[in-house]
Structure formats: C-alpha cells, structure tokens
Amino acid sequence: MSQLDLFVTLWPSLEHFPQFASDHRLAGIRLNSAMIHAIELDKELPLAAAIHDPVPVWFDIKGRQLRVTEVIHNPDHLEVILNHPIEVNLPQPVLFKAGEDHALLTSITDGGYHLVFAPGAEYGPQFNVNAGESLHIRHASFRAWGEQFVLEEKAKIERVKQAGISKWFLSYVQCQRDVDEFRELIGHQAELFLKIEDLKGLRYVATEFKKESSVSLVAARGDLYVEVNRPHQIVQALRLIAQRDPEACVGSRILLSIITKPVPSCADWCELAWLHDLGYRRMLLCDDLCLKADWLSTAINAFEEFHAMCNPPKISIVPKRSGLALVKKLFH
C-alpha cells in the first residue's frame, strides 16, 4: 500500500468543520460522540449532511469503554456515576485525562456505578473531571459488568443509521462477541474500524481477529498507552496490530507538538516514519489537535509533506558520481 490515508476527529457544530469536511486530502472524519447526548445528534447530524461533496464520515460508538455519566459535586472530594458497573479491590488509584491525572478510589456503591474518591489534594484529582470523560483502573482485580451498549449508545446508533452513515468506529473491542453484537445493530455491510485500547483487546488481536475486507483494526494509542502493563510495551502492541492487519490504522498522540509550535518536532517526523515502517498506512489525529483550525491545517500540511517524502521521484545513481554530487541530486 503506497497510499497514505489521514483521518481527523471533528464535530459538525465546530466553526471550522465545513472547511475540512470538504478537504479531500482527508480520507475521513471521525465523529467522537463521547461528550454529547443522543438527542443532540438531531441537531448535529444534519450539519454534517449539509456539506457539499464531503469526505466520508465515520461515527465512534463507545461500547465497553468506561465513561463518566455524571459528576456529583462536593467541596472536598470527587464522586462520579459510570456508564458500566464495576468492581475492584479498594482502595485503588484511578487514572483520568489519558493518564495525566489521578484520584484514589475508596468506595463503590449503587451496584458498581457510583464511585467515591478520597478527600484531599494529595489524593487528586488535579483537574476538573467532566461527564463524558473516560477513566482507567489498571489493577488485576478490576472487572466491568453489564451489556456492551448502554441505552444511550443504542439511541445514538439508531440516529446515526437513520442519517445514512454506514462507517463506524467501535471503542474498546475485547473479543469477537463484541464485534458480532455490534454487527447485529448496524448491519453486516457496514464498514468497521475496531479500536484496540487495552490488554483484552490485544489478546483478541493475537488470538481471535480474522481479517475481513470491511473490517480494520485501530491501534488507539490514547487509551492503549495507559492500559498496557508497562509504558514501553506500547511498541510491541503497535507491532502486533500492524502484523495482524496490513490495513490497520494508528490513532492519537500523533503530531501533538503542533499544539505548542508552528512546526512539528523532530520526534514527530521520526515517529511518522517509524509508524510507516511498521506498515501503517492509515493514521488518525486525536480530538485535541483538531480543536483549532490552524493546528489542524498545520497537521494536514505536514502529513501531505510526509506523504510526498514516502513516494519520492526515482533517482538514477551513477556509480562514479562523487558523494557531493549525489547529495545535490537528492536534495535539489
């Protein structure tokens, strides 16, 4: 595959959505509905449908991912309600903000939905926790229960289907049963990106995943990096996903230096090249980088330059030509 496909994460009501929704340098736009209710799609989806000659739109359904549905405000401690019931040995540290924040979980009530955290600044969290955000509990005793799709997610699926969207991301895929259940809801002809975001997902990739023409894996590094046992194991995880699916996509934590600098860092360029060498030909930019039009424009331009570098014009090398002459030929 010589083609490189770039996917971005946007929302129809963003001011710069129309600018990029018709930018055919993009392979697709992912709608990430984590922070929005199903009823709000009645306003948002028509905005996406109104774009003339749009790039393909994909919709991200959360599935088994732990999400905060409600924050109970207290002056001295954090309490949240979850979308799925859980159990874990207590007390237990919980990670927020893709691992950048944490709090100490001390109590679980209401059948596993209601989490109460220790009071005091030393236990966290440092930042505000909001409804719709994800969290991570990495202890071996952790278990999440209940159906894969809560009623709110099922309502989103129905609205998206009615809007004519047939391309989907499914978050936190952990087994073939998750995929089969999703197929029953969206149909067997829909295109699927299966986001691999934890150790169970990696086990699925290694032991159960069977490549199909309409199904591709996604190395969803935003959460996967937090969920692997040791940080350096993200490298092994990325290799596994690329080996199991030659059409796999890699997402999140890409070109983030653009948020603070007008030019991508050396590390970002080199990482793009490493991901390309692993075999990834599809890449997805995360929510944060797509929030501002100038950041996203810079990222798309950088990706375009990288794509051109991966497909350079052929150069005829004359054996007796000096090294200096060859350098001039390569770079001028």
> Each residue of 211-231: pLDDT tens digit?
999 999 999 999 999 999 999
Beta pairing partners, 214: none
What's the rounded Cα separation, in Å, for the pair 307 and 327?
21
Q: Is residue 243 part of a domain?
A: yes
Q: What is the pLDDT of residues 125-144, one digit of tens each?
A: 999 999 999 999 999 999 99
Is 93 in the same domain as 219?
no
pLDDT > 70? residue 304: yes
Residues 245, 253: Cα–Cα separation, whole Å: 20
> Distance between CA 40 and CA 313 in Å, rounded?
48
Residue 111 is part of which domain span?
68-144
Report yes or no on 320 lying in a domain: no
Q: Are both 90 and 195 inside the same structural domain?
A: no
Q: Is residue 325 part of a domain?
A: no
**Do 44 and 117 reside in the same domain of the chain?**
no
Is residue 201 located within the same domain as residue 93? no
Closest C-alpha to 103, from 117, 90, 87, 85:
117
Q: Phi, psi at residue 272, to the nearest 5°?
A: -55, -45
Q: Is residue 318 part of a domain?
A: no
- Tell me which residue of 329, 109, 65, 110 sits closest to 222, measured CA to CA: 65
Q: Which of 84, 115, 144 is the last residue of a domain?
A: 144
> Is the residue at 272 inside a domain?
yes
Q: Are residues 187 and 171 in the same domain?
A: yes
In a domain, 101, yes or no: yes
pLDDT at 322 over 70: no
Whether the CB-CB separation of 1 and 246 falls below 8 Å is answered with: yes
Largest Cα–Cα separation, the chain: 78
DSSP class per residue in 249-277 = EEESSSSGGGGT-SS--HHHHHHHHHHHH
Q: Within this chain, do residues 287 and 189 fall inside the same structural domain, yes or no? A: yes
Domain with residue 44: its CATH number is 3.20.20.60
In this structure, are 90 and 191 located in the same domain? no
Q: 255 and 125, same structural domain?
A: no
Q: In what order do the strands lie in the sheet with 92-96?
A: 68-72, 79-82, 114-117, 101-109, 92-96, 135-136
76 and 198 inside one domain: no
Do residue 103 and residue 188 come from a single domain?
A: no
Same domain, 45 and 76: no
Q: Is the pLDDT of residue 332 over 60?
A: no
State the pLDDT at residue 22. Answer: 96
Q: Is the pLDDT of residue 328 over 90?
A: no
pLDDT of residue 204: 98
Residue 2 pLDDT class (50, 70, 90 cuts): low
Report yes or no on 327 lying in a domain: no
Domain count, the chain: 2
Q: Are residues 190 and 298 in the same domain?
A: yes
